[in-house]
Chain A
Amino acid sequence: MTCTDVTCPVCGMSCDDIYIELTDDAVLTKNACLMGDAKFQELRSHHRLTKPLVHGEEASWDEALEKTADILVNAKRPFFFMGSETSNEAMAVGIEIAEYLGGLVDGNATICHGPTIMGLQLSGQVGSTLGECKNRADLNIYWGCNPADSHPRHMSRHSQFARGFWTEQGFKGRKVIVVDPRRSPTCEAADLHVQLKPGKDHELIDALMTMLRGEEPHPTVEEVTGVSRETLNKMAEMVKECKFGVIWVGLGIASSRGHHYNAAIAMRFTHECNKFTKFVINANRGHCNVAGFNQVLAWTHGFPFAVDFSRGIPRYQPGEYSCVDALSRGEVDAMIVMCANLGGHLPKKAVERLAKIPMIAIETSPGTNAFMSDIILPGVFDGMECEGTFYRMDNVPIYARSFTKPPFDFTESNEHTLKQLFEIVKKKKAEKDAREAKQ
């Protein structure tokens, strides 16, 4: 079977031009990058989880769902983690269950571009779609990101090497600045590599803003940022001279000291640049539908991530209701993780908590997350085995078709899994409430 224009559910780019040839024992892909291809190969892998597991033992689907519902209903502070390799539709159901049970809900954004979103709330973002950048941008600034590794097709599809409507010359008509303490593979394409000292992004942006306003930056700027005046001047000139500039921000900004303040000043810098020319700032979001979680939670409950429903209304407080913080403080007493690899991506102290509490995973492969879990419900690949919508990293929703079916028949999609679970949860919660009312 062959299928064209498949959407890739791996990184935030959601490339929608993948060609797939699927046989009984092999998958052939065209256009997908190394990471995308690895995910498509999963369709025919030997290690796929196809049976529900309870404490490492095979169980029936109904039994696994019942046990899951028991854990969630009896928990005082259940945590719902909506990972990003699944559709908006599935996330919406997960959020609904969290609200129903008065739990906490968070998604991958929290350990990724959460601070960038907080920066956006502080300063406002001048954003654009990826198409806009492809067609217009003649200056790309990769700030604290390394698309050559994290978004392998980024430069060829939407930025540096792409030919657009007004940028027919492709890379010959574009300039690149990379701001990174490391000489990352992306630097190979750079006209200017601004190799700052780690964590000095805020100071560097501040100096550039001062220069754009026609004033002298503080004399210690070279010493503090590790960047020479010459490089700073060159960067400021390139910014002023371009017709349409894009700053692609990565986790270099969001994950180092200063977190959201770095993001906020980067956005203010974009405002400043707009006094000279057209400039936008976009976040290079790492995971397929990580932007979707922010969107879904924002349009259902008004906040982008880190929400607590324990008082019946949604309350938003990063640092308190966010996954890493709530876990490391030890207050979460049950966790359900949908399509995310928390065991392998959270810092030690948070994972230690995961090891202590009952954990349920909707999971496709026996990796670090499955290793931490008490109950495993086999996951479905959205965009391959069922349809769904993803938000691309520029917040444009992309509809992903399916081209095959899951290798089991107890569920059709992660959304379906959660809907089945919700029914049981409602029943059990009603029983529990009745029991408590009697006492």
Chain B
Amino acid sequence: MPERQSSEVDDMEITLNTGSTVYQGAIIKGGKTFADAEGYMREAAYCNINPEDFDALGRPWFVRITNEYGDSVVLRAKKTNTQQRGEVFVPRGVWANIVVTVYTESTGSPTYKNLKVDIEKCNGPVLDPVTLMRQEYFGGNMHKIWKEKAED
């Protein structure tokens, strides 16, 4: 659709809100974050986008969200009417927390809501929770870290 392509943007500043959903809650409470990693990905690794923003982004399957420190995460894109223009929603979870910043305004509570981020279309893939945590927190190798810690 040519008119849509003309309004496509590479990268857009947007407001990110995170929050709980009952399905994501059920996976976590059921202790299935790793035991049912696929279910966890289905319920927490997506991004709700307003239809107009969705078109402007080029009707993506996947989006990459990047915060002001350059941390970024890839999520499935979902077009929904529940969002206003200029804001997206990602359920709570390991994916959202990659971009949530530790800026707490001296309250102890990070900026889980109302966070300015950049969003862009990308080709995926969405990482499963184990791979994501390995990559982000353990430099790809879990056992190495355990060993180093043990030797300390």
| Interface residues of A, Cβ cutoff 8 Å to B | 10-11, 33-39, 41-42, 45-48, 55-56, 106, 110-112, 114-115, 118, 146, 148-150, 152, 181-184, 195, 197-199, 226, 251-252, 254-260, 286, 305-306, 318-320, 322-325, 328, 341, 343-352, 354-358, 364-368, 371-372, 374
Contacts and interface: CB of A to CB of B under 8 A. Distances in A.
Given A45-B31, A348-B102, A351-B136, 20 more contacts: A38-B29, A42-B30, A114-B107, A181-B84, A182-B87, A198-B87, A199-B15, A251-B19, A255-B111, A256-B114, A260-B107, A318-B107, A319-B105, A328-B102, A341-B28, A343-B133, A347-B100, A348-B98, A356-B149, A357-B149
Contacts, number: 216
Interface residues of B, number: 59
Nearest to A319: B106
Contact of B133 (A33, A45, A55, A371): A371
A254 B109 contact: yes
Interface stretch (B52-60, B89-97, B119-127): B89-97
B108 A305 contact: yes
Given A39-B30, A198-B113, A366-B34, A56 B145 contact: no
Nearest to B82: A183
A331 to B, nearest CB: 13
Contacts of B81: 183
Contact of A345 (B32, B34, B92, B150): B92
Contacts of B19: 146, 149-150, 251-252
B5 interface: no
A199 B84 CA distance: 13
A344 B31 CA distance: 12
Nearest to A46: B35
Given A181-B17, A182-B17, A319-B108, A251 B29 contact: no
A385 to B, nearest CB: 14
B148 to A, nearest CB: 9
Interface of B: 15, 17, 19-23, 25-35, 71, 81-84, 87, 89, 92-94, 97-102, 104-114, 129-130, 133, 136-138, 142-143, 145-147, 149-150, 152
Contacts of B106: 318-320, 325
A347 B102 CA distance: 6
A13 to B, nearest CB: 13
A321 B114 CA distance: 24
A39 B100 CA distance: 27
A149 B17 CA distance: 15
A149 B21 contact: yes
Given A39-B30, A318-B108, A341-B33, A348 B136 contact: yes
Nearest to B136: A348
Contacts of A343: 94, 133
B136 to A, nearest CB: 6
A30 to B, nearest CB: 17
Contacts of B137: 351-352, 354-355, 372
A49 to B, nearest CB: 9
B97 A348 contact: yes
Contacts of A251: 19, 112-113
Given A344-B93, A352-B137, A118 B107 contact: yes
B33 A368 contact: yes
